[in-house]
């Protein structure tokens, strides 16, 4: 959960001004709570401290929180500060190594102790919009797919982060570099095809009523796409279900899954659900597209009604790819057979792949999956939308 806008602003008011790197930067949370990080640059790194002081390192810089709570340590040296800015000498890229492994990014890194006295450090990448888009596209779609499909993904990545920026302007970051928002891996996977797709759509976003849309997308609809009202209780006119007969070749079009009933019970209890010993579960209601909207869980103390998407979250999104499933058997192990992957709201990526292969343009694909929308050049929009601080 993010801090309130007031808390975030007050907490950041003493930080040094972030060096200029462009007028269209977005803020990406890379690391939430790492015990330590290491940062290196092509030509070394430079650090700006809250007091305006600057330090340089020709090699790798290791940053930790001081166990005594006195600030941060830089290669073992205590610095009485709770935040700092790291950039590459000569504007070069930075390689961040944390718990999830190395990540090479452009822009600058804001490193700070987390709020609420959490241990470790958090890292936010301030990166130019188009570089961010290039870091998302190969992480969300295979770079060997049709060029028009890659253009679709580029426009959606740009639209999504702009929508989140406008929604979260008072917060410390716009998006998280994971499936919580969009997967972003910096320069990893960026090749000529990705560069071409992003460059060809530079500045283009999807709009409805002259505003960027919530550009939702998922892997495989395996039928009609879903209404955002069903999944997120958001009544958005451009996120209504449409037929999607294009994704038959997706590896997730049909699937089987299984999980232990005891594991579900343990997870429910850990998360504070009032349940006893689970005896079984059955679908209780369905969405208009046939997906499981809610389930009835019988247990030794009564029953619990659970949303279909909450079951996916509790068991694991990779275990249960979608809520479009049937329960085959229930015992110690629950066996499901289903179709599709993801929440199915908005664009179906495998559908876009097939449509692109059939000769449809990126604009046609986007208008199909987001009814009533337009592809708009960000640079032609009002300053409040077109200017990213």
Pull the structure tokens for residue 262.
Answer: 């005891």
Confidence at 9, pLDDT banded by 50, 70, 90: very low
Helices H / strands E in the chain, number of each: 10, 24
* Same domain for 95 and 27: yes
* Same domain for 309 and 295: yes
**Among 338, 354, 378, where does a domain finish?**
338
Q: Would you say residue 6 lies in a domain?
A: no
**Owning domain of residue 282:** 255-338
Q: Would you say residue 229 lies in a domain?
A: yes
What is the residue-averaged pLDDT of the chain? 90
Coarse DSSP helix, strand, coil percentages of the chain, rounded to the nearest 5 percent? 25, 35, 40
The per-residue pLDDT for range 59-87, each reduced to its tens digit, is 899 999 888 888 899 999 999 888 999 99
* Same domain for 362 and 241: yes
* Same domain for 228 and 141: yes
The per-residue pLDDT for range 252-283, each reduced to its tens digit, is 999 999 999 999 999 999 999 999 999 999 99
Question: What residues are paired with 333 via a beta bridge?
Answer: 260
* Same domain for 364 and 304: no
pLDDT score of 107 more than 70: yes
* Same domain for 199 and 101: no
* Same domain for 367 and 234: yes
Q: DSSP per residue over 25-40, as a string? A: EEEEEEEEEESEEEEE
Q: Would you say residue 95 lies in a domain?
A: yes
* Same domain for 203 and 295: no
Q: Would you say residue 3 lies in a domain?
A: no
Q: What is the mean pLDDT of residues 30-36?
A: 90
* Same domain for 350 and 235: yes
The per-residue pLDDT for range 163-222, each reduced to its tens digit, is 999 988 888 899 999 999 999 999 999 999 999 999 999 999 999 999 999 999 999 999
Q: Would you say residue 326 lies in a domain?
A: yes
The per-residue pLDDT for range 291-323, each reduced to its tens digit, is 999 999 999 999 999 999 999 999 999 999 999
Q: What is the pLDDT of residue 113?
A: 85
Q: Would you say residue 10 lies in a domain?
A: no
- Other C-beta atoms closer than 10 Å to the C-beta of 383 total 6
* Same domain for 362 and 245: yes
Q: Would you say residue 297 lies in a domain?
A: yes
Q: Would you say residue 172 lies in a domain?
A: yes
* Same domain for 367 and 231: yes
Q: What is the pLDDT of residue 117?
A: 62
* Same domain for 148 and 69: no
139 close to 184: Cβ distance less than 8 angstroms? yes
C-alpha distance from residue 169 to each of 93, 159, 165, 166 (Å): 25, 15, 5, 5
219 close to 341: Cβ distance less than 8 angstroms? yes
The per-residue pLDDT for range 212-252, each reduced to its tens digit, is 999 999 999 999 999 999 999 999 999 999 999 999 999 99
**Among 95, 110, 131, where does a domain finish?**
131
* Number of separate domains in the chain: 3
Q: What is the dihedral of CA 339, 345, 347, 348, to 10 degrees?
A: 0
Query: How far, in Å, CA of 217 to CA of 342, rounded?
Result: 8
């Amino acid at each position: 959960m993010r801090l309130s806008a007031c808390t975030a602003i007050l907490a950041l008011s003493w930080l040094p001004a972030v060096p200029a790197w462009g007028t269209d930067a977005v803020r990406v949370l890379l690391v939430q709570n790492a015990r330590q990080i290491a940062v290196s640059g092509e030509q070394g790194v430079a650090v700006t401290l809250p007091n305006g002081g600057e330090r340089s390192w020709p090699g790798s810089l290791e940053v930790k929180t001081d166990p005594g709570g006195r600030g941060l340590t830089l290669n073992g040296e205590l610095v009485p500060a709770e935040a700092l800015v790291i950039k590459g000498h000569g504007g070069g890229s930075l390689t961040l190594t944390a718990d999830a492994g190395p990540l090479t990014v452009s822009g600058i890194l804001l490193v700070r102790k987390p709020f609420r006295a959490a241990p470790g450090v958090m890292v936010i990448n301030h990166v130019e919009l188009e570089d961010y888009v290039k870091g998302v596209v190969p992480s969300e779609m295979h770079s060997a797919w049709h060029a028009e499909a890659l253009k679709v993904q580029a426009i959606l990545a740009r639209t999504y982060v702009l929508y989140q920026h406008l929604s979260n302007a008072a917060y410390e970051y716009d998006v998280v570099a994971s499936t919580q928002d969009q997967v972003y891996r910096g320069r990893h996977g960026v090749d000529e095809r990705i560069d071409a797709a992003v460059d060809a759509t530079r500045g283009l976003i999807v709009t409805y009523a002259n505003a960027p849309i919530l550009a939702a997308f998922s892997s495989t609809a395996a039928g009609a796409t879903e209404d955002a009202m069903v999944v997120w209780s958001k009544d958005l006119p451009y996120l209504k279900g449409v037929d999607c007969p294009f994704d038959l070749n997706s590896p997730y079009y049909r699937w089987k899954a299984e999980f232990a009933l005891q594991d579900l019970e343990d997870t429910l209890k850990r998360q504070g659900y009032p349940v006893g010993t689970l005896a079984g579960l059955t679908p209780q209601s369905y969405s208009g597209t046939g997906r499981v909207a809610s389930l009835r869980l019988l247990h030794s103390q009564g029953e619990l009604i659970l949303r279909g998407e909450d079951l996916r979250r509790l068991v694991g999104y990779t275990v249960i790819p979608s809520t479009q499933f049937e329960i085959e058997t229930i015992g110690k192990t629950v066996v499901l057979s289903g179709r599709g992957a993801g929440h199915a709201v908005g664009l179906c990526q495998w559908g876009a792949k097939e449509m692109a292969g059939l000769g449809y343009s990126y604009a046609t694909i986007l208008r199909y999956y987001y009814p009533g929308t337009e592809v708009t050049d960000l640079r032609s929009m009002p300053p409040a939308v077109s200017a990213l601080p």
